[in-house]
Amino acid sequence: MSEIKKFYVTTPIYYPSGRFHIGTAYTTTLADAMKRYKTLRGYDAYMLTGLDEHGQKIQEVALANGKTPQEHVDEIAEIAKDLWKKMKIQYDDFIRTTEPRHEKIVEKIFTKFIENGDIYKGEYEGWYCVPCETYFTPTQLVDGKCPDCGREVKMMKEEAYFFNMKKYQDRLIKFYEENPDFIDPAYRKNEIFNNFIKPGLEDLCVTRTSFDWGIKVKGDEKHVIYVWLDALTNYITALGYMSEDDTKFKKYWPADLQIVGKDIIRFHGIYWPIFLMALDLPIPKKLLAHGWIMMKDGKMSKSKGNVIYPETLINRYGLDATKYFLLKELVGGQDGLFTPEGFVERFNSDLCNDLGNLLNRTIGMLNKYFNGEIPTKPSKLTDLDIELENFITERIKETEKEMDEAHVSNALDEIWKIISRANKYIDETMPWALFKEEKIEELKDVMYHLVEVLRKVAILIKPCMEESSAKIFEQLMIKDENLMTWDSIKTYPELGSGLKVIEKGNPLFLRLDLNQEIEFLKNEMNK
């Protein structure tokens, strides 16, 4: 018996500054879809998410709200967990950097770096961005402001510990040369390599003394371990690295896929590999750097009145519609766009007109022509059948290829090509005409293929739209689990004699009134 393959996927650990908008929901949904897909393919899949809870910004926000930092992050942690529950995110672990299991290991890692000569004490003076918790050189600033968030920076000087990045520069360059697919998309890798690595790495400040909300350096407690060394190591501390029980670490590391936003790819693409090199640990197989969900007037901001929250979309339009939009909108690492018009139009077009209509038409015709009974597998195929089957085979291959690369938007494109082709197949075969002309065997052939398309689609969309997948199977009255496996999409099985669909189909998605819903969403964004 062959060993079950593992798949370890992570989200970044999110900063608990407040309620999560749809951008954060996208990242987590993408990781969840990948875990579900790999599980469906027979992998032992493990997903990690969590919160990055230390740092000056947290301390300042908590103080401003009359709370302790711990009280503040505890509240946000519950909000996050409630949202992931509402979105049915199947994470296996939720790591918080304030947990003892994390803090103890970070202390050990820091000590090991000192013992290895990777960390030394010095003095740091530079331009510091409080929200990003990052120092910048003058040349890295853009118009005198933070290159990442565009906010004002402060000149700061303090005693600090530094990580010797220069020590690992050549090794990092070699790694990039030997692993050209490490960062996806490739242009992000090129940006990092050309802008930061090739010109020469600066040693990294890894402690602070100007605040105390964080993990203290043993024996030098005025120093707090700086955010990136603290935060990035969550991916291994959550697995039990350097703990009494490192079973999960041995099983799942290195990560197969780490999903991050484009704004933090530099830290994951430079600092993280170097930390792992210093620990003599393997580097993750792939970093996926996605874009942002933008609004017409730029990034989401409460001050602009353009923020949309996932709860709003889920409560109004359902979980699957929300997930579909998020996963479909961001393509190839580029920014996506949320507009009320775009959301409603995609809902009506893709979900109602394409998928929903295919199911409704098929259920309706089966009840009308065959009293709901699904015809048996045809013994002879028409030219149209062969063309349809060949088309589906190619689209399934492409779907798998795109999903294996975590290009979920492209995979959904391929699935919707199958749906569109099936709707065209109805128009080509004209079941109503076949019934009128009493060509019953031909009609049975058509209806079998339509049911098969829907069965395959239900499996293909399951990682992204589990509720809709289940509803399709319910309406087709298919209960045999062997007909719900990923491997079964590559076959045309006998669906069983006497198998009947539901007597009256239920719409998967109800068509939205365009003007009414646009007005609703605009009002929600301005709250």
Rounded distance between C-alpha atoms, residue 253 and residue 251, angstroms: 6
**What are residue 96's phi and psi, to 5 degrees?**
-120, 135
Rounded distance between C-alpha atoms, residue 338 and residue 293, angstroms: 6
- Token digits for 356? 């929903």
Determine the Cα angle at 276 with ends 271 and 280, to 5°. 150
Query: Which residue type sits at 359?
Result: L
Query: Which residue type sits at 97?
Result: T
- Please name the residues in contact with 155: beta carbons below 8 A apart, sequence gap of 6 or more: 125, 126, 127, 128
Parse the chain into domains and list their residue ranges.
318-490
- Domain 318-490 part of CATH 1.10.730.10: yes
Q: Can you count the helices (H) and strands (E) in the chain?
A: 21, 15
Identify the bridge partners of residue 158 per DSSP, sorted by sequence position: 124
- Please name the residues in contact with 178: beta carbons below 8 A apart, sequence gap of 6 or more: none
Rounded distance between C-alpha atoms, residue 163 and residue 497, angstroms: 69
Per residue in 312-367, pLDDT (tens digit) is 999 999 999 999 999 999 888 899 999 999 999 999 999 999 999 999 999 999 99
- What one-character DSSP code corresponds to residue 262? G
Residue with tokens 């009134």: 513
In this prediction the pTM is 0.93
**SS3 sequence, 481-492?**
HHHCCCHHHHCC
Rounded distance between C-alpha atoms, residue 216 and residue 231, angstroms: 14
Cis peptide bond N-terminal to 254, omega within 30:
yes
Cβ atoms 415, 408 nearer than 8 A: no
- Please name the residues in contact with 79: beta carbons below 8 A apart, sequence gap of 6 or more: 19, 20
Determine the Cα angle at 87 with ends 301 and 418, to 5°. 100
**What are residue 151's phi and psi, to 5 degrees?**
-85, 170
Residue with tokens 């947990």: 99
Provide the strand spans (E) within 154-262.
154-163, 183-184, 204-205, 207-208, 216-217, 220-225, 257-261
Provide the strand spans (E) within 52-182.
93-96, 119-129, 134-136, 154-163
The continuous run of DSSP H or E covering 47 comes out as: strand 44-51
Rounded distance between C-alpha atoms, residue 23 and residue 450, angstroms: 36
Using alpha carbons, select from 197, 214, 343, 175 the residue that is nearest to residue 270.
197
Rounded distance between C-alpha atoms, residue 225 and residue 233, angstroms: 12
Pairing outcome for strands 6-10 and 257-261? parallel
Neighbour count for residue 126 (Cβ, 10 Å) = 18
Q: What per-residue confidence (pLDDT) applies to 2?
A: 61
Residue with tokens 């027979």: 42
Identify the bridge partners of residue 6 per DSSP, sorted by sequence position: 44
Cβ atoms 493, 480 nearer than 8 A: no
Rounded distance between C-alpha atoms, residue 34 and residue 316, angstroms: 25
Under-70 pLDDT residues of the chain: 1-2, 301-305, 496
Identify the bridge partners of residue 220 per DSSP, sorted by sequence position: 217
Q: What per-residue confidence (pLDDT) applies to 332?
A: 80
